[in-house]
Every structure is written in structure tokens, then in C-alpha cells.
Amino acid sequence: MSNDMNHHIKVYRNVFIGLLIFTVLTVGASYFDFSYVWIGVTVGLAIAFIKGYLVAANFMHLNNEKSLIYIVLGFTLIFFLVLFFMPTLWHNDEMHSPEHIPMQNGEVYEQVKHNDHHGEEH
């Protein structure tokens, strides 16, 4: 075998070992009881990010691309983060559902008073 082929085999073997290690970490993290949900989500996303980077950089050969691809991936990451955190921006005091629209679990903030007089004043 040529020296170049040995280099590729070594790289793919190391990526395979890394993916196995991070898969074991993923399974281990699923059994770990985090005190807050957001810590568990952050750990899971960090492990998934590293595994995704290993696959994209080596198997999709993104580690040999020009810098333009990283600019496009950066904008994609920014767009993802905006979409990911957008629901948290909705949970403030100024933005809420009107009183006559049901909440997501079927409860209603306040019952709408039906007026049978249709515009007549008392």
C-alpha cells in the first residue's frame, strides 16, 4: 500500500474510534441525571455537534474546502440558533395570547361573555 493510503486509513480509523467514544458518551449522558434540563440539552447538543463535525469534516471532506464553505456554514449556524431560541423570545410579559384564545392544553384564560343583545345598550 502507498503511504497516502495508509494516511487515509489512519484518519478514518481515528474518526471511527472518536465516533465510538462519543456514542458511548451519548448513551452515558442519557443515564445521567442533570439537575436542570438545559444542562442536559447543552451536553447532548455538544456531543452531537462534535460527532457531526467529525463526520462532515472527514467523510464529506469539508476539511479540505476553501473558506467560502465555512462562511456559508457559519450563516447556517446563526440561522439555526435564531430559530432554536426564537420560542424563548415569545415568553415575555408583553407577548401573550388574548384572553379569548385557548391555551395549548385546552384551558382558557377567561371565558368569553356572550351578549345575546347584539349591540343593544342597557
Residue 119 has pLDDT above 70, yes or no: no
Quick: pLDDT tens for 85-117. Answer: 877 776 655 555 555 555 556 555 555 555 555
Structural domain includes residue 55: yes
The confidence score (pLDDT) of residue 55 equals 92
Count the domains in the chain: 2
| Lookup: cell for 101 | 384564545
The confidence score (pLDDT) of residue 24 equals 96
- Please tell me whether residues 53 and 87 are part of one structural domain: no
Taking alpha carbons only, the member of 39, 36, 42 closest to residue 81 is 42
Q: Which residue has better confidence, 72 or 117?
A: 72
The parent domain of residue 33 ranges over 3-60
- Please tell me whether residues 40 and 87 are part of one structural domain: no
Residues in Cβ contact with 112 at an 8 Å cutoff, skipping those fewer than 6 apart: 99, 100
**What value does the mean pLDDT of the chain take?**
80
- Please tell me whether residues 54 and 7 are part of one structural domain: yes
